């Protein structure tokens, strides 16, 4: 009795497509791969540099995915032990290279090219947020035409909120690094709106609030020092002016 046929890989998907796969399907695959990598890293599971052969499709078969790119591919990482153990953790573990192979071609969509440029500078979480954003935009457009739905690691609303939260936290951190009170206020309010909290229930918002309080206290101290200098310096300035004026009067009266 023969065993069941092995599950197809992304290599089989590319071979079946005979060229670049639909960008929406490629982005969905990328989101699921990055999500799996994030979970593996969180649990300390070693992962080397991934290739098309290391990623298995456990959902719809390749032909069905190409006919309807909104279907869920359900990608699973299948890395052999000799490849995973002792592998130095790469920035994105080759997920960007996998995506590049999926969309490679003379007429690669501009959206895919833009995402590839962003992946060049992104860490794992940033790459996941960027891919989710593009995936949600593509699915929204697809839904208007076909009424189809695909999963992007938790569903449309959850993924969109997660993307917005990641972006808001990044912008808040950048504002804190830049020391911009106006931008800290702006992005702190944005994050609070997304989370729906008053400000004390989230770590990043607590840091931002503390930074603003320290900044305001420092500004208050500077104003007090300036006022004291002005008050103590005024009599000296007045005395200097009067001495000069008296000298002039005595010069002309003599």
Q: Tokens 């770590």, residue?
A: 203
So what's the pLDDT on residue 146?
A: 46
The alpha helices in 68-155, defined as continuous H runs, are 81-84, 95-103, 110-119, 124-146
- The whole-number pLDDT of residue 47 equals 80
- Cβ neighbours of residue 215 closer than 8 Å, sequence gap 6 or more: 181
Picking from 161, 214, 215, the residue whose alpha carbon sits closest to that of residue 190 is 161
Q: How confident is the model at residue 98 (pLDDT cuts 50, 70, 90)?
A: very high
What pLDDT is recorded for position 8?
92
* Contact call for residues 56 and 75 (beta carbons, < 8 A): yes
CB-based burial label for 161 (10 Å; 0-12, 13-18, 19+): middle
Model confidence at 254, pLDDT cuts 50, 70, 90, reads low
Residues 6+ apart with CB under 8 A from 29: 10, 55, 73, 75, 98, 99, 102
* Torsion angle defined by CA atoms of residues 43, 154, 16 and 90, in that order, rounded to the nearest 10 degrees: -30
| Site of tokens 């090219």 | 113
The conformation of residue 200, written as its DSSP 8-state character, comes to S
Q: What beta strand segments (E) does the chain contain?
A: 55-57, 75-77
Residue 77, beta-bridge partner list:
55
Per-residue model confidence as pLDDT tens digits over 214-237: 777 777 777 776 666 666 656 666
**Structure confidence by residue, pLDDT tens digits, 37-58:** 888 888 777 788 888 999 999 8
pLDDT of residue 11 exceeding 90:
yes
């Amino acid at each position: 009795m023969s065993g069941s046929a092995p599950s197809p890989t992304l290599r089989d998907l590319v071979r079946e497509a005979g060229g670049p796969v639909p960008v929406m399907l490629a982005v969905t695959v990328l989101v699921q791969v990055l999500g799996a990598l994030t979970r593996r890293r969180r649990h300390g599971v070693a992962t080397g540099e991934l290739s098309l052969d290391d990623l298995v499709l456990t959902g719809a078969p390749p032909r069905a995915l190409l006919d309807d790119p909104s279907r869920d591919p359900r990608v699973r990482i299948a890395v052999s032990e000799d490849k995973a153990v002792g592998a130095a953790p790469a920035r994105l573990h080759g997920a960007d290279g996998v995506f590049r192979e999926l969309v490679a071609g003379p007429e690669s969509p501009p959206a895919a090219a833009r995402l590839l440029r962003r992946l060049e500078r992104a860490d794992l979480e940033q790459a996941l947020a960027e891919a989710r954003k593009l995936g949600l935009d593509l699915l929204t457009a697809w839904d208007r035409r076909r009424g189809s739905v695909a999963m992007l690691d938790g569903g449309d609303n959850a993924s969109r909120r997660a993307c917005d939260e990641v972006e808001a936290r990044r912008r808040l951190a950048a504002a804190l690094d830049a020391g911009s009170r106006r931008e800290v206020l702006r992005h702190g309010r944005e994050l609070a709106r997304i989370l729906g909290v008053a400000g004390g229930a989230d770590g990043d918002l607590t840091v931002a609030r503390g930074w603003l309080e320290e900044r305001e206290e420092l500004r208050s101290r500077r104003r007090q020092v300036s006022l004291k200098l002005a008050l103590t310096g005024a009599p000296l300035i007045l005395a200097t002016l009067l001495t000069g004026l008296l000298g002039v009067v005595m010069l002309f009266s003599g």
